[in-house]
Amino acid sequence: MQQAGDYVAEGRRWVVDLDLEKFFDRVNHDVLMSRLARRISDKRVLRLIRRYLQAGMMTGGVVSPRVEGTPQGGPLSPLMSNVLLDELDKELERRGHKFCRYADDCNIYVRSRQAGERVMASVTEFLERQLRLKVNVEKSAVARPWERKFLGYSMTWHKQPRLKVAKASVARLKAKVRAIFREGRGRSLSQVIKDLNELLRGWLQYFRLAEVKGVFEELDGWIRRKLRGLLWRQWKRPYTRAKALMKRGLAELRAWKSATNGRGAWWNAGASHMNEAFPKSFFDRLGLVSLLDQLRRFQLST
């Protein structure tokens, strides 16, 4: 992704975003085996790979032979896909294109929409004619790089673009966080935070290259608000809520007024009384991972 940013900074401010339709299900066995035969002379190895590719798949309790595609989840499938698509890499290099590819995701960076449309047409023809692969027309596009995502990242529109987390990646994380909270009803706050931390650490490791920090700060605040809302629901009764707020340092009159306001959990979770009673430092002491703080530590250590 950093290399993609370099291409955009050079003036290639259009991207040909190629999506291969059901790539792992559509790999042509004969085309793949012919490419492997160029590199492997031992026919026993080739026969073994062919048997691997043709391993039966079970549908409705019935095993049927595989005539195309690679076994999903198989250890050799990613390697086989790269062997096949290495020919695409060589073709793009031969044409002098600037591109980034990971498995079946490929972005080609060009200087104009017209150039992008020409590249899209010619590369699509190459994939379908030479490799027997089909381009998903609906998901592929010629667009600005900041309008598309690649491996979960996107970039800003500036002349010197910066990497950022794509909106779709943020939405997927929020869906996973919501699932943890649905499971967390009735569990202790510390247990919910433990489950959240496992998710957040892995997500942050992947997106540690992001240069736009705003989304990390927004997610931190959203997660803390969700946790405050969980507490509000767990307290249930106004008396319990008032006592809990007083225990956290709120004046008695304010605590009772807040506890009896009749508003829902989400509103109260974002209100000043809950923010004052349960500030960021409270969750820091409980060990909640702060995405923004961790990102800053990553960047300082590099």
In the prediction, which pLDDT does 113 show?
A: 95
In the prediction, which pLDDT does 36 show?
A: 87
pLDDT at 191 over 70: yes
Encode pLDDT of 213-239 as tens digits.
Answer: 999 999 999 999 999 999 999 999 999
User: Which H, E and C letters describe 214-262, residue by residue?
Assistant: HHHHHHHHHHHHHHHHHHHHHHCCHHHHHHHHHHCCCCHHHHHHHHCCC
Q: What residue spans of the chain are helical by DSSP H? A: 2-9, 23-26, 29-37, 43-53, 77-95, 113-130, 167-183, 189-206, 214-235, 238-247, 252-259, 265-270, 272-277, 280-285, 291-301
Considering only CA atoms, give the Rg of the chain: 26
Encode pLDDT of 86-100 as tens digits.
Answer: 999 999 999 999 999
Q: Is 146 exposed, middle or buried (0-12, 13-18, 19+ CB in 10 A)?
A: middle
Encode pLDDT of 248-257 as tens digits.
Answer: 999 999 999 9
pLDDT at 3 over 80: no
CB 120 within 8 A of CB 109: no
Average pLDDT over residues 197-223: 95
Token couple for 69: 């595609």
C-alpha torsion sign, points 153, 155, 161, 163? negative
CB 52 within 8 A of CB 10: no
CB 227 within 8 A of CB 288: yes
pLDDT at 247 over 70: yes
Whole-number Cα distances in Å, 194 to 172, 181, 288 = 19, 12, 8
In the prediction, which pLDDT does 114 show?
A: 96
Token couple for 147: 């309008």
Lowest mean pLDDT among 1-15, 108-122, 211-225, 278-292: 1-15
C-alpha torsion sign, points 197, 200, 203, 208? negative
Lowest mean pLDDT among 8-12, 173-177, 254-258, 259-263: 8-12
pLDDT at 18 over 90: yes
In the prediction, which pLDDT does 270 show?
A: 96
In the prediction, which pLDDT does 57 show?
A: 64
H or E stretch covering 63: strand 62-64
Would you tell me the crossing angle of helices 167-183 and 189-206 to the nearest 10 degrees? 160
| Cα–Cα–Cα angle for 245, 250, 254, rounded to 5 degrees | 90
pLDDT at 2 over 70: no
Q: Is 123 exposed, middle or buried (0-12, 13-18, 19+ CB in 10 A)?
A: buried
CB 286 within 8 A of CB 193: yes
